[in-house]
Structure formats: C-alpha cells, structure tokens
Amino acid sequence: MRLETIFSTLATSLALSLFVSASPLNTSLVPPPLPSYLGRSNIFYRAVFGAEVASAARVYPIRANPTGHSNAAGDFSFSGGLYVFRDIDEARQWGTCRARVLGQLNPAHRNWLLVEFQYTPSKKRLNTRTFTNATPAWREFVVDNYKSQGTRHDIVEGPISHGSGSGLGAYVNAAGNMVWQAAFVRRQGLATLVVRSRTQYNDRGQVGECCRNCNIMLVDPANQLVDQSAAMTEWAAFD
C-alpha cells in the first residue's frame, strides 16, 4: 500500500470517529408514546387460546357483544378483563407464541382463534383510563391490580407490562415500540364491542418474537410458562 494511501485511510477513520462521537445520542432507545384508540371507532383483535377456545362460540357470538371474560387479575384489572390488540400482527404473534407453549402440554391447544371486534365509543359517559407511556402512575396501577387492590374501570388502555417487582416495566418490541393493549372490564365496556369474526389458526405460523416475560404470557415463580388457561372458563360477575 502506498504511504499516501495509508495516511488518507487514517485521516478518514479519524474523521469518522470524531463524527460519531459528536453525533447526538440515539433516542430510538426511548420508545415513543402510545396513541389512544378509545376516542373513535376502531377494529380490535384478541387471541383466544387454550381452554377458552371451547367456549368461544358462546363468549364471542358473531354480530353481538362478547358475553364475559376471565376473572384472573391482569395489567389493567384485578377482577379480570377482555384484553385486545389494535395491531392484527401483534395479536397473531401472541396467539401463535401462546399456542406453541400450550401445545407442548396438550396437543389440542395447538389451535387458537383470532377474534375481530368492531369498537364503537359509547354515547354514555364511561369510566375509562388511558396510559400513553410507562409512567410511575402506570406502574403503580399495574402492580396494584396484581395485588388485587386496584380501582375498577370500564375500559383501560396502555402498554403491556414486562417483568415483575422492581423490574416491572413496559414491554418494548424489537422495533423499539411499546405494545398497546386495552382491557374491557365491566359490562358497559363490553357493550362497545361487537364480534365481527372468529378465525382459527395453529401454532405453526411465523412470528418475529415471543416475549417470555410479558405478563400477558403468564409465568410461575420459577419463571416457566405454564398453562393457566383453565381460568378462562370462569367468568367475571358484572355489576
């Protein structure tokens, strides 16, 4: 290599390193806030898996309101809720991931359903709550619900939680975004949903990622995914 070429290469490398060090920090590591979807009509999706599949025709009648939901505590309700996604690909991802785990325990659970809902905001004044980010208030709300001491709302929307204890935070996917979910808890909330379709899938679909520690994917104290779908056969009492 000629001497002047070596000097030129070194100069280029030095300039590049100075440019990188002078560049602003990559803010893509901080996920952008989530939008709110409750103020206008929308299409929402739910992945139904495990033992809940057997009750799907009764709980999710076509062209009617869903009739109930599990009473198991979740991110947004200590008394259970009907959780949905806004993004159909996220719903497919969660359904496929969950079916892969449950299918190992029971081959009958390799199939799951994608339920599509038409959401129409109520003309009545509902008790709703929106979290666009993983704020301290969001974290406190989620923690309280898992302690069965939260406050009840008709509908709650915000990020899916990830981890537990001091490590609890919002799940951020590979694209650097939080994942939106909504919980329809009380009868007035369920009345805003109409079932449009139920489509069967299996655990062989392609997925980009499966979040092991997301609280939508229930874990036992040993941090192992377990089949808690039996809780789906118990329906919450509405007031």
> Given a cut of 80, is residue 104 above it in pLDDT?
yes
- How many other CB atoms are found less than 10 A from the CB of residue 162? 21
Mean pLDDT calculated for residue range 99-125 = 94
- How many other CB atoms are found less than 10 A from the CB of residue 105? 13
Mean pLDDT calculated for residue range 75-102 = 94
> Given a cut of 80, is residue 218 above it in pLDDT?
no
> Given a cut of 70, is residue 22 above it in pLDDT?
no
Domain for residue 26, yes or no? no
Note the pLDDT of residue 113. 98
Domain for residue 136, yes or no? yes
Sheet holding 42-48, edge to edge: 42-48, 111-119, 193-202
More confident residue, 136 or 24: 136
- Total tally of structural domains belonging to the chain: 1
Between 105-114, 160-169, 175-184, the lowest mean confidence (pLDDT) is in 160-169
Model pLDDT for residues 36-57, shown as the tens digit of each residue: 999 999 999 999 999 999 999 9
Domain for residue 25, yes or no? no
Mean pLDDT calculated for residue range 143-165 = 91
> Given a cut of 60, is residue 2 above it in pLDDT?
no
Which domain covers residue 148, as residue numbers?
A: 31-229
Domain for residue 8, yes or no? no
**Which range has highest mean pLDDT (7-11, 19-23, 106-110)?**
106-110
Domain for residue 91, yes or no? yes
Rounded distance between C-alpha atoms, residue 111 and residue 98, angstroms = 10
> Given a cut of 50, is residue 111 above it in pLDDT?
yes
**CA 30 centroid distance within chain:** 18
**CA 111 centroid distance within chain:** 20
Domain for residue 3, yes or no? no
Domain for residue 21, yes or no? no
Domain for residue 126, yes or no? yes
